[in-house]
A and B are shown apart, each in its own frame.
Chain A
Amino acid sequence: GNSVTQMEGPVTLSEEAFLTINCTYTATGYPSLFWYVQYPGEGLQLLLKATKADDKGSNKGFEATYRKETTSFHLEKGSVQVSDSAVYFCALPDTGRRALTFGSGTRLQVQP
């Protein structure tokens, strides 16, 4: 079945630093890819998505490009803020069960 591998956390950065969180996937075909974010004490919410190869999803200054050659969907942001501190999950659908398969999550801590 489909699977997702994310870089281990936590990732600790200073404000205004550049962020990359790596995500690679294994899937049949070319499914849509997602990044979800979980702020402290809250449920997950969709951050961005890409539906086909070479698509770039973007939201709130975050970007991720669907790379089928490297089966990757790395999350980037040019200048992080303290308010970006959260856990980030890469995900792709398991259409057979109408489920999302999530990575293990990467905690980001941004220090002032």
Chain B
Amino acid sequence: EAQVTQNPRYLITVTGKKLTVTCSQNMNHEYMSWYRQDPGLGLRQIYYSMNVEVTDKGDVPEGYKVSRKEKRNFPLILESPSPNQTSLYFCASSRRESGEKLFFGSGTQLSVL
């Protein structure tokens, strides 16, 4: 089954404790992206990657890191989480030729205390 898998689904942590949210897709997609969803703001892009070893900033990259060492994986790293990073996070992927049809993971609800 074609899917984008994120882990964990829920995460509660404390300020400053480094964490990683994993994302993996099994569709051989070149393009992957991270979004955060906040009430009243819709989804905002954090980072995206056009292919292995190619990443770039989205709208709200501050406080986040990403890496793309393998085509299928695109982890999101919070080196020193802060309460304003409490949010619902989504990973998404697509083929290069049809970048607008995004396939989304089920989301990670992060709470930073």
Q: How large is the interface on A (under 10, 10 to 19, 20 to 34, 35 or more residues)?
A: 20 to 34
Could you tell me the distance in whole angstroms from the C-beta of B34 to the nearest C-beta in chain A? 11
Q: Which residues of B contact A89 (CB under 8 A)?
A: 42-43
What are 30 contact pairs spanning A and B, CB under 8 A? A32-B100, A34-B100, A41-B106, A42-B106, A43-B4, A43-B92, A43-B104, A44-B43, A44-B90, A44-B92, A44-B104, A45-B104, A46-B101, A46-B102, A49-B100, A89-B42, A93-B100, A97-B45, A97-B56, A97-B58, A98-B31, A98-B48, A99-B45, A99-B59, A100-B43, A100-B45, A100-B100, A103-B42, A104-B40, A105-B42
Q: Which of A37-89 contact B (CB under 8 A)?
A: 41-46, 49, 89
Q: What separation, in Å, do the CA atoms of A103 and B43 have in the docked complex?
A: 8
- Contact B40 A99, beta carbon cutoff 8 Å: no
Interface size on B, residues (CB 8 A): 24
Residues of B within 8 A of A (CB): 4, 31, 33, 40-43, 45, 48, 50, 56, 58-59, 90, 92, 99-107
Main secondary structure of the interface of B (DSSP, over half): strand
Known: A98-B31, A98-B99, A99-B58. A43 touches B105 (CB 8 A): yes
Could you tell me the distance in whole angstroms from the C-beta of A105 to the nearest C-beta in chain B? 6
- The chain B residue sitting closest to A89, CB to CB, is B42
- The chain B residue sitting closest to A46, CB to CB, is B101
- Contact A104 B41, beta carbon cutoff 8 Å: yes
Q: What separation, in Å, do the CA atoms of A105 and B35 have in the docked complex?
A: 14
> Most chain-B Cβ atoms within 10 A of its Cβ — which of A4, A36, A49, A104?
A104
Residues of A within 8 A of B (CB): 4, 32, 34, 36, 41-46, 49, 89, 93, 97-100, 102-105
- Contact A104 B104, beta carbon cutoff 8 Å: no
Q: What separation, in Å, do the CA atoms of A89 and B41 have in the docked complex?
A: 11
Q: Which residues of B contact A102 (CB under 8 A)?
A: 42-43
Could you tell me the distance in whole angstroms from the C-beta of A10 to the nearest C-beta in chain B? 12
> Most chain-B Cβ atoms within 10 A of its Cβ — which of A42, A43, A97, A100?
A43
Known: A97-B48, A97-B58, A98-B31. A44 touches B102 (CB 8 A): yes
